[in-house]
Structure 1
Amino acid sequence: MRVAIVDDDGLICNSLEIILSAQDDIEVVGSVQGGHAAVALYCEQRPDVMLMDIQMPDLSGLDAARRILDDDPTARIVFLTTFSDDEYIVRALALGARGYLIKQDVATIAPALRAVMGGQSVLEGEVLARVAVFGARRVGGSAATSDGSAAGDDDPFSALTDREREVVRGIAAGLDNKEIAAAAYMGEGTVRNHISSILSKLNLKNRTQIAIAYWRRRSVGAEG
Protein backbone atom coordinates (compact mmCIF):
# COMPACT_ATOMS: atom_id res chain seq x y z
CA MET A 1 0.00 0.00 0.00
CA ARG A 2 1.09 3.59 -0.65
CA VAL A 3 1.14 5.69 2.53
CA ALA A 4 1.63 9.43 3.11
CA ILE A 5 2.65 10.84 6.51
CA VAL A 6 1.67 14.20 7.97
CA ASP A 7 2.99 15.55 11.28
CA ASP A 8 4.23 18.97 12.39
CA ASP A 9 7.26 17.32 13.99
CA GLY A 10 9.94 16.46 11.43
CA LEU A 11 11.51 13.88 13.73
CA ILE A 12 8.22 12.01 14.01
CA CYS A 13 7.78 12.14 10.24
CA ASN A 14 11.24 10.66 9.72
CA SER A 15 10.75 8.00 12.38
CA LEU A 16 7.40 6.90 10.98
CA GLU A 17 8.84 6.80 7.48
CA ILE A 18 11.66 4.51 8.62
CA ILE A 19 9.31 2.24 10.59
CA LEU A 20 6.68 1.92 7.86
CA SER A 21 9.15 1.62 4.97
CA ALA A 22 10.61 -1.44 6.69
CA GLN A 23 7.31 -3.25 6.02
CA ASP A 24 7.32 -5.27 2.81
CA ASP A 25 3.82 -4.18 1.84
CA ILE A 26 4.14 -0.45 2.60
CA GLU A 27 5.64 2.27 0.41
CA VAL A 28 5.89 5.74 1.92
CA VAL A 29 5.21 8.14 -0.95
CA GLY A 30 5.85 11.33 0.99
CA SER A 31 5.90 13.05 4.36
CA VAL A 32 5.06 16.69 5.11
CA GLN A 33 4.78 18.88 8.20
CA GLY A 34 1.58 20.88 7.85
CA GLY A 35 -2.07 20.79 6.89
CA HIS A 36 -1.77 22.81 3.68
CA ALA A 37 1.13 20.62 2.59
CA ALA A 38 -0.96 17.55 3.40
CA VAL A 39 -3.71 18.65 1.01
CA ALA A 40 -1.15 19.30 -1.73
CA LEU A 41 0.59 15.97 -1.10
CA TYR A 42 -2.68 14.06 -1.30
CA CYS A 43 -3.63 15.75 -4.58
CA GLU A 44 -0.19 14.98 -6.01
CA GLN A 45 0.28 11.38 -4.84
CA ARG A 46 -3.25 10.05 -4.13
CA PRO A 47 -1.91 7.65 -1.46
CA ASP A 48 -3.89 4.60 -0.41
CA VAL A 49 -3.80 5.85 3.19
CA MET A 50 -2.84 9.20 4.69
CA LEU A 51 -1.57 9.03 8.28
CA MET A 52 -2.13 12.46 9.79
CA ASP A 53 -1.64 14.38 13.02
CA ILE A 54 -4.46 16.66 14.24
CA GLN A 55 -2.84 19.74 15.80
CA MET A 56 -0.66 21.61 13.32
CA PRO A 57 0.14 25.34 13.26
CA ASP A 58 -0.98 26.32 9.76
CA LEU A 59 -4.05 24.13 9.14
CA SER A 60 -5.32 21.47 11.53
CA GLY A 61 -5.44 17.85 10.50
CA LEU A 62 -9.23 17.95 10.82
CA ASP A 63 -9.52 20.89 8.41
CA ALA A 64 -7.01 19.31 6.02
CA ALA A 65 -8.97 16.07 6.11
CA ARG A 66 -12.20 17.93 5.35
CA ARG A 67 -10.64 19.51 2.26
CA ILE A 68 -9.26 16.19 1.08
CA LEU A 69 -12.52 14.32 1.64
CA ASP A 70 -14.53 17.06 -0.06
CA ASP A 71 -12.38 16.50 -3.14
CA ASP A 72 -12.17 12.70 -2.79
CA PRO A 73 -14.77 11.06 -0.52
CA THR A 74 -13.00 7.71 -0.95
CA ALA A 75 -9.80 9.00 0.71
CA ARG A 76 -8.58 6.83 3.56
CA ILE A 77 -7.40 9.12 6.36
CA VAL A 78 -6.16 7.76 9.67
CA PHE A 79 -5.38 10.18 12.48
CA LEU A 80 -2.32 9.47 14.62
CA THR A 81 -2.20 11.88 17.52
CA THR A 82 -1.41 12.35 21.19
CA PHE A 83 -4.82 13.95 21.70
CA SER A 84 -7.68 11.70 22.82
CA ASP A 85 -10.10 14.58 23.39
CA ASP A 86 -13.74 13.57 22.90
CA GLU A 87 -14.44 16.45 20.52
CA TYR A 88 -11.51 15.55 18.28
CA ILE A 89 -12.58 11.91 18.14
CA VAL A 90 -16.18 12.72 17.25
CA ARG A 91 -15.21 15.32 14.63
CA ALA A 92 -12.66 12.97 13.06
CA LEU A 93 -15.10 10.10 12.74
CA ALA A 94 -17.94 12.35 11.60
CA LEU A 95 -15.69 13.68 8.84
CA GLY A 96 -15.27 10.17 7.50
CA ALA A 97 -11.83 9.31 8.88
CA ARG A 98 -11.04 5.60 8.71
CA GLY A 99 -9.20 5.52 12.02
CA TYR A 100 -8.09 7.34 15.14
CA LEU A 101 -4.90 6.07 16.75
CA ILE A 102 -3.06 7.33 19.80
CA LYS A 103 0.71 7.76 19.64
CA GLN A 104 1.66 5.00 22.02
CA ASP A 105 2.85 1.75 20.48
CA VAL A 106 4.25 2.23 16.96
CA ALA A 107 4.00 -1.52 16.41
CA THR A 108 0.23 -1.15 16.08
CA ILE A 109 0.35 1.34 13.20
CA ALA A 110 1.15 -0.99 10.30
CA PRO A 111 -1.52 -3.57 11.28
CA ALA A 112 -4.03 -0.74 11.64
CA LEU A 113 -3.24 0.53 8.16
CA ARG A 114 -3.68 -2.97 6.76
CA ALA A 115 -7.06 -3.20 8.47
CA VAL A 116 -8.08 0.09 6.87
CA MET A 117 -7.02 -1.23 3.47
CA GLY A 118 -9.21 -4.26 4.20
CA GLY A 119 -12.24 -2.02 4.59
CA GLN A 120 -12.28 -1.69 8.38
CA SER A 121 -12.26 1.39 10.58
CA VAL A 122 -9.73 1.35 13.39
CA LEU A 123 -9.90 2.75 16.91
CA GLU A 124 -7.43 1.89 19.63
CA GLY A 125 -5.99 2.67 23.00
CA GLU A 126 -7.66 5.47 24.93
CA VAL A 127 -10.26 5.88 22.18
CA LEU A 128 -11.64 2.43 22.85
CA ALA A 129 -11.56 3.11 26.58
CA ARG A 130 -13.96 6.00 26.05
CA VAL A 131 -16.58 3.63 24.70
CA ALA A 132 -15.65 0.64 26.88
CA VAL A 133 -19.24 0.49 28.07
CA PHE A 134 -19.97 -1.45 24.90
CA GLY A 135 -17.20 -3.89 25.65
CA ALA A 136 -18.32 -4.60 29.19
CA ARG A 137 -22.06 -4.09 29.13
CA ARG A 138 -24.38 -6.60 27.49
CA VAL A 139 -27.75 -5.70 26.08
CA GLY A 140 -29.76 -8.68 24.97
CA GLY A 141 -26.67 -10.87 25.00
CA SER A 142 -24.55 -8.52 22.90
CA ALA A 143 -21.14 -7.04 23.57
CA ALA A 144 -18.09 -5.77 21.75
CA THR A 145 -14.99 -7.87 22.17
CA SER A 146 -11.60 -6.40 23.02
CA ASP A 147 -10.41 -6.78 19.44
CA GLY A 148 -13.28 -4.63 18.18
CA SER A 149 -15.46 -7.38 16.77
CA ALA A 150 -19.12 -7.75 17.59
CA ALA A 151 -20.34 -10.52 19.84
CA GLY A 152 -23.89 -11.77 20.10
CA ASP A 153 -26.84 -11.21 17.78
CA ASP A 154 -28.10 -7.87 19.11
CA ASP A 155 -26.45 -4.53 19.49
CA PRO A 156 -26.89 -1.96 22.30
CA PHE A 157 -28.76 0.44 20.01
CA SER A 158 -31.52 -2.11 19.48
CA ALA A 159 -33.10 -0.80 22.70
CA LEU A 160 -33.70 2.59 21.04
CA THR A 161 -36.79 3.68 19.16
CA ASP A 162 -36.56 4.84 15.54
CA ARG A 163 -36.83 8.47 16.63
CA GLU A 164 -34.12 8.00 19.24
CA ARG A 165 -31.87 6.50 16.58
CA GLU A 166 -32.57 9.55 14.44
CA VAL A 167 -31.45 11.78 17.30
CA VAL A 168 -28.32 9.64 17.78
CA ARG A 169 -27.40 10.08 14.12
CA GLY A 170 -27.85 13.83 14.45
CA ILE A 171 -25.60 13.94 17.51
CA ALA A 172 -22.98 11.83 15.71
CA ALA A 173 -23.08 14.28 12.80
CA GLY A 174 -22.21 17.11 15.20
CA LEU A 175 -25.63 18.80 15.21
CA ASP A 176 -26.89 20.70 18.24
CA ASN A 177 -30.40 20.22 19.66
CA LYS A 178 -31.90 23.02 17.57
CA GLU A 179 -30.43 21.61 14.36
CA ILE A 180 -31.58 18.08 15.20
CA ALA A 181 -35.07 19.40 15.93
CA ALA A 182 -35.24 21.19 12.58
CA ALA A 183 -33.90 18.22 10.63
CA ALA A 184 -36.18 15.71 12.34
CA TYR A 185 -39.28 17.94 12.51
CA MET A 186 -39.63 17.78 16.28
CA GLY A 187 -39.46 20.29 19.11
CA GLU A 188 -36.23 21.01 21.00
CA GLY A 189 -37.90 19.78 24.19
CA THR A 190 -38.66 16.49 22.47
CA VAL A 191 -35.04 16.21 21.37
CA ARG A 192 -33.90 16.77 24.96
CA ASN A 193 -36.31 14.11 26.17
CA HIS A 194 -35.00 11.65 23.58
CA ILE A 195 -31.41 12.37 24.62
CA SER A 196 -32.25 11.71 28.25
CA SER A 197 -33.88 8.42 27.27
CA ILE A 198 -30.90 7.44 25.10
CA LEU A 199 -28.43 8.16 27.92
CA SER A 200 -30.50 6.10 30.32
CA LYS A 201 -30.95 3.14 27.98
CA LEU A 202 -27.29 3.02 26.96
CA ASN A 203 -25.89 3.86 30.40
CA LEU A 204 -23.91 6.81 29.06
CA LYS A 205 -23.18 10.19 30.65
CA ASN A 206 -23.35 12.79 27.89
CA ARG A 207 -24.00 13.44 24.20
CA THR A 208 -20.31 13.15 23.34
CA GLN A 209 -20.31 9.56 24.56
CA ILE A 210 -23.41 8.94 22.44
CA ALA A 211 -21.57 10.15 19.34
CA ILE A 212 -18.44 8.14 20.08
CA ALA A 213 -20.50 5.03 20.79
CA TYR A 214 -22.35 5.47 17.50
CA TRP A 215 -19.14 5.69 15.48
CA ARG A 216 -17.63 2.82 17.47
CA ARG A 217 -20.55 0.58 16.51
CA ARG A 218 -20.31 1.74 12.90
CA SER A 219 -16.62 0.82 12.90
CA VAL A 220 -17.39 -2.81 13.76
CA GLY A 221 -20.23 -3.10 11.30
CA ALA A 222 -23.27 -2.55 13.50
CA GLU A 223 -26.02 -0.32 12.17
CA GLY A 224 -26.33 1.98 15.17
Structure 2
Amino acid sequence: MTHAVPDTQTSADFIVPPCHQAVEVLWQDDDLLLVNKPSGLLSVPGKHEANKDCLISRIQIDYPQARIVHRLDMDTSGVMVLALNAECHRALNRLFAERQTTKQYEAVVFGLLEQEQGDIDLPLICDWPNRPKQKVDHEHGKAASTHYQVLDYDQQNHCTRILLTPITGRSHQLRVHLAEIGHPILGCNFYAHDKAKAMAERLLLHARGLEFVHPVTGERVLGVSRCPF
Protein backbone atom coordinates (compact mmCIF):
# COMPACT_ATOMS: atom_id res chain seq x y z
CA MET A 1 0.00 0.00 0.00
CA THR A 2 5.59 4.48 -0.13
CA HIS A 3 8.97 4.10 -0.74
CA ALA A 4 12.19 5.69 -1.27
CA VAL A 5 13.25 2.16 -0.44
CA PRO A 6 11.78 -1.29 -1.03
CA ASP A 7 8.91 -1.93 1.40
CA THR A 8 8.73 -5.67 1.13
CA GLN A 9 11.17 -8.37 2.12
CA THR A 10 12.67 -8.86 -1.33
CA SER A 11 16.04 -7.17 -1.04
CA ALA A 12 18.93 -8.65 0.90
CA ASP A 13 21.14 -5.65 0.24
CA PHE A 14 19.17 -2.50 1.04
CA ILE A 15 19.31 -1.26 4.62
CA VAL A 16 16.00 0.24 5.73
CA PRO A 17 16.29 3.59 7.55
CA PRO A 18 15.40 3.29 11.25
CA CYS A 19 11.82 3.98 12.31
CA HIS A 20 11.66 5.90 15.58
CA GLN A 21 7.88 5.89 15.95
CA ALA A 22 6.38 3.44 18.41
CA VAL A 23 3.85 0.72 17.66
CA GLU A 24 0.58 1.54 19.45
CA VAL A 25 -1.59 -1.23 20.89
CA LEU A 26 -5.18 -0.21 20.15
CA TRP A 27 -7.03 -3.13 21.77
CA GLN A 28 -6.36 -6.61 23.07
CA ASP A 29 -7.92 -9.68 24.65
CA ASP A 30 -6.67 -13.21 25.31
CA ASP A 31 -6.69 -14.14 21.62
CA LEU A 32 -5.65 -11.18 19.52
CA LEU A 33 -4.14 -7.71 19.37
CA LEU A 34 -5.11 -4.70 17.29
CA VAL A 35 -2.14 -2.42 16.71
CA ASN A 36 -1.30 0.75 14.83
CA LYS A 37 1.79 0.38 12.64
CA PRO A 38 3.75 3.57 11.90
CA SER A 39 4.91 4.44 8.41
CA GLY A 40 8.50 3.39 7.74
CA LEU A 41 8.38 0.18 9.78
CA LEU A 42 8.51 -3.28 8.20
CA SER A 43 5.76 -5.70 9.20
CA VAL A 44 8.19 -8.65 9.38
CA PRO A 45 12.01 -8.83 9.35
CA GLY A 46 13.86 -8.10 6.12
CA LYS A 47 16.50 -10.41 4.68
CA HIS A 48 19.40 -8.08 5.46
CA GLU A 49 20.77 -8.52 8.98
CA ALA A 50 20.36 -4.79 9.56
CA ASN A 51 16.62 -4.98 8.76
CA LYS A 52 15.46 -7.01 11.74
CA ASP A 53 13.54 -4.19 13.41
CA CYS A 54 9.89 -4.65 12.48
CA LEU A 55 6.39 -4.66 13.92
CA ILE A 56 6.32 -8.33 14.93
CA SER A 57 9.76 -8.22 16.60
CA ARG A 58 8.72 -5.17 18.64
CA ILE A 59 5.39 -6.69 19.65
CA GLN A 60 7.01 -9.98 20.67
CA ILE A 61 9.06 -8.17 23.33
CA ASP A 62 5.87 -7.81 25.39
CA TYR A 63 3.82 -10.55 23.71
CA PRO A 64 6.26 -13.35 22.82
CA GLN A 65 3.42 -15.56 21.64
CA ALA A 66 2.18 -13.03 19.06
CA ARG A 67 1.97 -14.20 15.44
CA ILE A 68 1.71 -12.21 12.23
CA VAL A 69 -1.54 -12.63 10.27
CA HIS A 70 -1.24 -10.11 7.45
CA ARG A 71 1.09 -7.29 6.43
CA LEU A 72 1.09 -3.65 5.53
CA ASP A 73 3.77 -2.28 3.22
CA MET A 74 6.62 -0.60 5.03
CA ASP A 75 5.52 2.95 4.31
CA THR A 76 1.80 2.33 4.78
CA SER A 77 0.59 3.09 8.31
CA GLY A 78 -2.46 1.86 10.15
CA VAL A 79 -4.40 -0.97 11.74
CA MET A 80 -3.13 -4.54 11.85
CA VAL A 81 -4.38 -7.60 13.77
CA LEU A 82 -2.03 -10.11 15.42
CA ALA A 83 -2.93 -13.51 16.87
CA LEU A 84 -1.93 -14.47 20.39
CA ASN A 85 -2.35 -18.24 20.06
CA ALA A 86 -2.22 -20.94 17.40
CA GLU A 87 -5.98 -21.49 17.21
CA CYS A 88 -6.71 -17.81 16.67
CA HIS A 89 -3.86 -17.58 14.17
CA ARG A 90 -5.37 -20.34 12.03
CA ALA A 91 -8.83 -18.80 12.22
CA LEU A 92 -7.66 -15.29 11.32
CA ASN A 93 -5.62 -16.64 8.42
CA ARG A 94 -8.78 -18.31 7.14
CA LEU A 95 -10.78 -15.08 7.46
CA PHE A 96 -8.24 -13.19 5.37
CA ALA A 97 -7.91 -15.98 2.81
CA GLU A 98 -11.68 -16.13 2.38
CA ARG A 99 -12.01 -12.33 2.23
CA GLN A 100 -14.18 -12.19 5.32
CA THR A 101 -12.53 -9.01 6.54
CA THR A 102 -13.41 -5.44 5.63
CA LYS A 103 -10.55 -2.99 5.18
CA GLN A 104 -10.69 0.75 4.67
CA TYR A 105 -7.80 2.99 3.70
CA GLU A 106 -7.50 6.76 3.53
CA ALA A 107 -5.24 8.28 0.90
CA VAL A 108 -4.40 11.59 -0.75
CA VAL A 109 -3.96 11.34 -4.50
CA PHE A 110 -2.71 13.63 -7.24
CA GLY A 111 -5.32 15.57 -9.16
CA LEU A 112 -9.07 16.04 -8.79
CA LEU A 113 -11.14 12.93 -9.43
CA GLU A 114 -14.06 13.58 -11.78
CA GLN A 115 -16.34 10.96 -10.21
CA GLU A 116 -17.02 11.11 -6.49
CA GLN A 117 -17.07 7.34 -6.26
CA GLY A 118 -16.33 4.38 -8.46
CA ASP A 119 -14.72 0.99 -8.90
CA ILE A 120 -11.34 0.14 -10.40
CA ASP A 121 -11.13 -3.36 -11.87
CA LEU A 122 -7.69 -4.04 -13.30
CA PRO A 123 -5.91 -7.44 -13.09
CA LEU A 124 -2.44 -7.38 -11.53
CA ILE A 125 0.72 -9.44 -11.80
CA CYS A 126 4.24 -9.13 -10.41
CA ASP A 127 6.57 -7.09 -12.62
CA TRP A 128 9.41 -9.59 -12.19
CA PRO A 129 12.27 -7.57 -13.73
CA ASN A 130 11.33 -4.72 -11.37
CA ARG A 131 10.02 -6.65 -8.36
CA PRO A 132 8.52 -6.01 -5.87
CA LYS A 133 6.63 -3.71 -8.26
CA GLN A 134 3.35 -4.92 -9.73
CA LYS A 135 1.73 -4.13 -13.06
CA VAL A 136 -1.57 -4.43 -14.90
CA ASP A 137 -1.76 -7.51 -17.13
CA HIS A 138 -5.11 -8.24 -18.78
CA GLU A 139 -3.95 -11.61 -20.09
CA HIS A 140 -2.14 -13.18 -17.14
CA GLY A 141 -2.95 -10.95 -14.16
CA LYS A 142 -5.11 -11.92 -11.19
CA ALA A 143 -8.43 -10.14 -10.75
CA ALA A 144 -8.16 -7.05 -8.57
CA SER A 145 -10.95 -4.68 -7.55
CA THR A 146 -10.93 -1.44 -5.54
CA HIS A 147 -13.82 0.84 -4.57
CA TYR A 148 -13.10 4.52 -3.96
CA GLN A 149 -15.08 7.43 -2.56
CA VAL A 150 -14.03 11.08 -2.49
CA LEU A 151 -13.81 12.59 0.99
CA ASP A 152 -12.53 16.06 0.10
CA TYR A 153 -11.14 18.06 -2.80
CA ASP A 154 -8.10 20.29 -2.30
CA GLN A 155 -8.36 22.69 -5.23
CA GLN A 156 -5.39 24.78 -4.15
CA ASN A 157 -2.95 21.87 -4.02
CA HIS A 158 -4.61 19.96 -6.86
CA CYS A 159 -5.17 16.75 -4.91
CA THR A 160 -8.04 14.66 -3.53
CA ARG A 161 -8.53 12.86 -0.22
CA ILE A 162 -10.28 9.54 -0.77
CA LEU A 163 -11.57 6.49 1.08
CA LEU A 164 -10.50 3.16 -0.41
CA THR A 165 -12.13 -0.22 0.10
CA PRO A 166 -10.14 -3.03 -1.53
CA ILE A 167 -12.36 -5.93 -2.56
CA THR A 168 -9.32 -8.08 -3.29
CA GLY A 169 -5.96 -7.90 -1.53
CA ARG A 170 -3.26 -7.97 -4.20
CA SER A 171 0.21 -6.66 -3.47
CA HIS A 172 0.44 -2.89 -4.05
CA GLN A 173 -3.14 -3.01 -5.39
CA LEU A 174 -4.25 0.43 -4.24
CA ARG A 175 -1.16 2.22 -5.49
CA VAL A 176 -1.16 0.53 -8.88
CA HIS A 177 -4.89 1.04 -9.42
CA LEU A 178 -4.78 4.73 -8.60
CA ALA A 179 -1.67 5.34 -10.68
CA GLU A 180 -3.30 3.56 -13.61
CA ILE A 181 -6.31 5.90 -13.59
CA GLY A 182 -3.99 8.91 -13.49
CA HIS A 183 -4.24 9.72 -9.78
CA PRO A 184 -1.15 8.29 -8.04
CA ILE A 185 -0.94 8.40 -4.27
CA LEU A 186 1.23 11.29 -3.10
CA GLY A 187 4.70 10.32 -1.89
CA CYS A 188 4.72 6.96 -3.68
CA ASN A 189 8.20 6.29 -5.04
CA PHE A 190 7.12 3.15 -6.90
CA TYR A 191 4.23 4.32 -9.05
CA ALA A 192 3.87 8.12 -8.80
CA HIS A 193 5.35 10.56 -11.30
CA ASP A 194 7.96 13.01 -10.00
CA LYS A 195 5.52 15.80 -9.19
CA ALA A 196 3.20 13.57 -7.14
CA LYS A 197 6.17 11.90 -5.48
CA ALA A 198 7.57 15.24 -4.32
CA MET A 199 4.26 16.44 -2.85
CA ALA A 200 4.63 14.39 0.35
CA GLU A 201 7.48 13.20 2.57
CA ARG A 202 5.82 9.81 3.09
CA LEU A 203 3.31 7.66 1.25
CA LEU A 204 -0.08 9.20 2.02
CA LEU A 205 -1.82 5.88 2.51
CA HIS A 206 -3.25 4.80 5.88
CA ALA A 207 -5.19 1.68 6.90
CA ARG A 208 -7.79 3.42 9.02
CA GLY A 209 -10.24 0.57 9.58
CA LEU A 210 -10.25 -3.23 9.86
CA GLU A 211 -13.45 -5.16 10.67
CA PHE A 212 -13.99 -8.89 11.13
CA VAL A 213 -15.80 -11.46 13.26
CA HIS A 214 -13.80 -12.46 16.33
CA PRO A 215 -12.86 -16.12 15.71
CA VAL A 216 -13.42 -17.07 19.38
CA THR A 217 -16.24 -14.88 20.69
CA GLY A 218 -18.15 -14.46 17.41
CA GLU A 219 -18.54 -10.73 18.04
CA ARG A 220 -17.80 -8.06 15.45
CA VAL A 221 -14.41 -6.44 15.96
CA LEU A 222 -13.65 -3.02 14.51
CA GLY A 223 -10.16 -1.62 14.70
CA VAL A 224 -9.93 2.10 13.96
CA SER A 225 -6.88 4.32 13.58
CA ARG A 226 -7.11 8.04 12.93
CA CYS A 227 -5.35 9.14 9.77
CA PRO A 228 -2.06 10.87 10.72
CA PHE A 229 -1.84 13.12 7.63
TM-score with structure 1 length normalisation?
A: 0.25
More strand by share: 2
More helix by share: 1
Structure with the larger RCO, 1 or 2 (CA within 8 Å, 6+ apart): 2
TM-score with structure 2 length normalisation?
A: 0.24
